[in-house]
Amino acid sequence: MTERSTAILGGGALGLTLAWRLAQAGERVVVFEREQEAGGLAAGFRVGAAGEVAAPWLEKFYHHLFATDRDAIALIEELGLGDKLTWRAPNSSMLIGGKPYRLDSDPRSILALSPLSLLDRLRLGAGGAILKFLPSPEPLAGATAASWLSRWMGRPAYETIWKPMLEGKFGARADEIAMPWMWARAHYRSLRLGYLHGGFQQIYEALAAGIVARGGEVRLGAEVRALTPQGQPDGGLRVSSAAGEEDFARVISTLPTRVTCRITPDLPADYRARYEWGEAFGAHCLILALDRSLLPKHIYWLAIGDAGYPFLSAIEHTNFIGPEEYGGRRLVYFGNYVPMDHPVLRETPEQALARYLPGIQRLNPAFEREWITQMWGFAAPWAQPIVTREYPRHIPPHETPIPNLYVANMFQVYPQDRGQNYSIRLANRLAARLLAG
Ligand SMILES: Cc1cc2nc3c(=O)[nH]c(=O)nc-3n(C[C@H](O)[C@H](O)[C@H](O)COP(=O)(O)OP(=O)(O)OC[C@H]3O[C@@H](n4cnc5c(N)ncnc54)[C@H](O)[C@@H]3O)c2cc1C
């Protein structure tokens, strides 16, 4: 390994984009990725018969882009994948009182939301317009989403729409979520959604291939266990991974800040006191391949507003991207965010199905197990930061007190909700800064 080499921990959107930018500039990079494939939370698996190598990728966790995701779109173009990017306005709905109601940023869907009175619909629409047109979240700093939304959009709209959404995503922490985060969700959302035919994994495969073509390495199945500074001020760092120990001039960790702290005992106490902070939920998805469609009205995204369901959303991917691309399979995700010690994160797909089955049958009483032709289950820790009002004060800078050790991770994305775009943007910006010296 040369003196000037950089180790990048994590082969998700952030780590791979960063490695790609540095490799493009002629730097030697090594990406260490714990999993057996690149892509992190946006990674896919092949939907096909066992061993069918040309089968399309499907994300382990449902993914699409918004029209405002400019950095992700630019990267897709740069990698020559632009002609696979498609934009559509699939049906996004919410289940309220047992019935699905179309609910997206189209004002007509809000006006037709009959579970709310006309006055409450107008308040909901007006509140949404404020969030869309307010250019910055500055005036909202200090407010929780629960207090702002119920005050400005009215209690009925809050109880019917926002509370189930916040509780679905943040559980018992729902009341603590910061309003600027909610502003960003409303502000940057677009009616049209983007998807990459063949799966977003193609971005990560292309990045990994590009890095290797420029002399870098992407090591899969390479969990990093420890980082040790090799003497001040310019001694570089030792990376200890499953494959052994190696020294690098610079290390950039894209792991959650708390994980970086855990594997770097030399980070000082005052740094830890401020940045080894906060909580995150894990994500779980059960994906069923069915021999027929599950959701009514060609719904793509169904947020569950009714109490008592064991999942927070049902997403029929093939109501967005047709089943003909997946050998006729109808692909439906059942998604959940849960505390990281929740048992579902360790369950087999069969066990998760047993847990979710009553909810699936409640969604579509005609559903029978015989409809299922294949199923997959995926779980990931550190999938959703709990963005409370204190959150921004605990976002670390890229530099750490250890020379040549940088942190760059999706927990630094704020107030936007984490997304491929924001990890790519962060990587682009940090790479430009590092390359500028
Ligand atoms: C359910 C769900 C739905 C989502 N929907 C969308 C969507 O529709 N659109 C969108 O754009 N984004 C969506 N996202 C968010 C998007 O997936 C993430 O924002 C993005 O992929 C984060 O990339 P990252 O590289 O910053 O982090 P990660 O993807 O978390 O990458 C970190 C990497 O580090 C690896 N790692 C961890 N520990 C170690 C270690 N010790 N050693 C080596 N490697 C390690 C991990 O395996 C991982 O690959 C969704 C996320 C989830 C969970």
The CATH number of the domain holding residue 349 is 3.90.660.20
C-beta of 61 in contact with ligand 1 (< 6 A): yes
State the Cα–Cα distance between residues 210 and 392, nearest whole angstrom: 34
Cα maximum dimension of the chain = 68
Percent of the chain past pLDDT 70, that is, above it, reads 98
Contact 10 CB / ligand 1 (< 6 Å)? yes
CB count within 10 Å of CB 285 equals 21
- Tokens linked to 135: 């250019």
Kindly report, residue by residue over 333-377, the tens digit of the pLDDT.
999 999 999 999 999 999 999 999 999 999 999 999 999 999 999
Helix (H/G/I), strand (E/B), else coil: 239: strand
Q: Atom 7 (ligand 1): residue with closest C-alpha?
A: 63
Q: Whose CA is nearest to atom 51 of ligand 1?
A: 41
Residues 418 and 408 in one domain: yes
| Nearest to 347, CA basis, from 377, 375, 312, 314 | 377
**Which residues form the domain of 412?**
5-49+200-278+391-435
Say if ligand 1 is within 6 A of residue 383 CB. yes
Question: Does residue 46 have a pLDDT over 80?
Answer: yes
Closest protein CA for atom 33 of ligand 1? 10
Q: Do the beta carbons of residue 301 and residue 289 sit within 8 Å?
A: no
pLDDT at residue 52 above 80? Answer: no
- What is the rounded (10 degree) CA torsion for 401, 405, 410, 416? 50
For residue 297, being part of any structural domain is answered with: yes
Please state, in angstroms and as integers, the Cα–Cα distance from residue 105 to each residue in 90, 188, 193, 275, following that order.
12, 11, 12, 36
Average pLDDT value over all residues in the chain: 96
**Residues 109/94, Cβ–Cβ less than 8 Å:** no
CA pair distance 91, 93, nearest whole angstrom: 6
Position 65 in a domain:
no
Listed residues 136, 158, 187: the one ending a domain: 187
CB 337 within 8 A of CB 169: yes
Asked, for residue 43, whether it belongs to a domain, the answer is yes
Residue 95 falls inside a structural domain: no
Q: 254 with 396, same domain?
A: yes
The answer to whether residue 83 sits within a structural domain is no
Do 22 and 435 form a contact (C-beta atoms < 8 A)? yes
Distance 384 CA to ligand 1 centre (A): 9
Please state the separation of Cα 86 from the chain's center in Å.
20
Instruction: Indicate if ligand 1 lies below 6 Å from the C-beta of 410.
Output: yes
Please indicate, yes or no, whether residues 235 and 284 belong to a single structural domain of this protein.
Answer: no
Distance CA 168, CA 173 (A): 10
Kindly report the protein residue whose alpha carbon is nearest to atom 35 of ligand 1.
Answer: 10
> How many CB atoms sit inside 10 A of residue 384's CB?
19
Q: What is d(CA 202, CA 186) in angstroms, rounded to the nearest whole number?
A: 28
If asked whether residues 183 and 330 sit together in one domain, one would say: no
Q: How many domains does the chain have?
A: 3
Residue 81 falls within a domain, yes or no?
no
- List pLDDT tens digits, range 2-39: 447 999 999 999 999 999 999 999 999 999 999 999 99
